[in-house]
Amino acid sequence: MYNITILYGAVRNGRLSIRAARAVERSLQATGKAQVTFIDIKDYNLPVMEDRLKDMKEPHPGAEAISKTLWHADGIVLVTPEYNNSYSGALKNAVDYFTKEWYRKPIGIVTASDGVQGGLNASNLMQLLVLAIDAYASPNKLLVPEVHKNLDEHGVPQTEKMKGAIESFVKDYLWLVEAITKQKKSNPLF
């Protein structure tokens, strides 16, 4: 059983991309191989980052709580809508708080949009972000186009194509999680 944390990073009223996060949560749970923790950034009221958590004189309790969960995760799935050709500011703000929490972790990239591209631009930029935080991006990203049509409010896929894309993403992602977890056990980083 792997500890997987989903970090969902949109706080917009009426946000639809939460469906993509729920879809991945459901699919990971259905494998029976993952213990999933869902972090919704909206619940934590993180201020705009002025100091990384490790440098904060008075650590923000929300940032501390997220840190603990990320630290214990074998893998993290980052989920974002595409805003102005990129990932959401809220997700990036949260990511910037943390350092060692990401180190050499397998990261799943999930993007969603209401258009047909599924957040392709955001997903490409997420790959660069994952490199910057010293982690490994799973090459099979999940892009959810027309999120309002392809997933219902519980994250249940509405087409066979969407169902297949989610399952393929999860299968490849858990393969990477397993590979990295095994390697860390036999050859620890710290």
CA dihedral 139, 146, 163, 170 (to 10 degrees): 30
Residue 41 near residue 75, CB atoms below 8 Å: no
Q: Which amino acid is at 177?
A: V
Is residue 16 involved in binding ligand FMN (CB under 6 A)?
A: yes
Which x/- pattern, by CB under 6 A, does the window 101-120 give for ligand FMN? -----------xxxx-x---
Could you say which residues in the range 25-84 bind ligand FMN, by CB under 6 A? Answer: 81-84
| Residue 27 vs 111, nearer CB to ligand FMN | 111
CB of 31 vs ligand FMN, minimal distance in Å: 25
> What are the two backbone dihedrals, phi and then psi, of residue 28, each rounded to the nearest 5 degrees?
-65, -45
| Residue 61 vs 115, nearer CB to ligand FMN | 115
Question: Dihedral of CA 49/7/179/160: which sign?
Answer: negative
Sequence-distant (≥ 6) Cβ neighbours of residue 55 within 8 angstroms: none
Query: How many binding residues for ligand FMN (CB under 6 A)?
Result: 16
- What distance in Å separates the CA atoms of residue 138 and residue 142, rounded to the nearest whole number? 10
| Residue 83 vs 169, nearer CB to ligand FMN | 83
User: Nearest-5° angle of CA 167, CA 99, CA 108?
Assistant: 10
Q: Indicate the helix (H) or strand (E) that contains 162.
A: helix 160-186
Q: Which of 5, 7, 15, 63 binds ligand FMN (CB under 6 A)?
A: 15
Is residue 142 involved in binding ligand FMN (CB under 6 A)?
A: no
CB of 3 vs ligand FMN, minimal distance in Å: 26
Q: Which of 77, 107, 126, 147 binds ligand FMN (CB under 6 A)?
A: 147
**What residues line the site for ligand FMN (CB under 6 A)?**
10, 12, 15-17, 81-85, 112-115, 117, 147
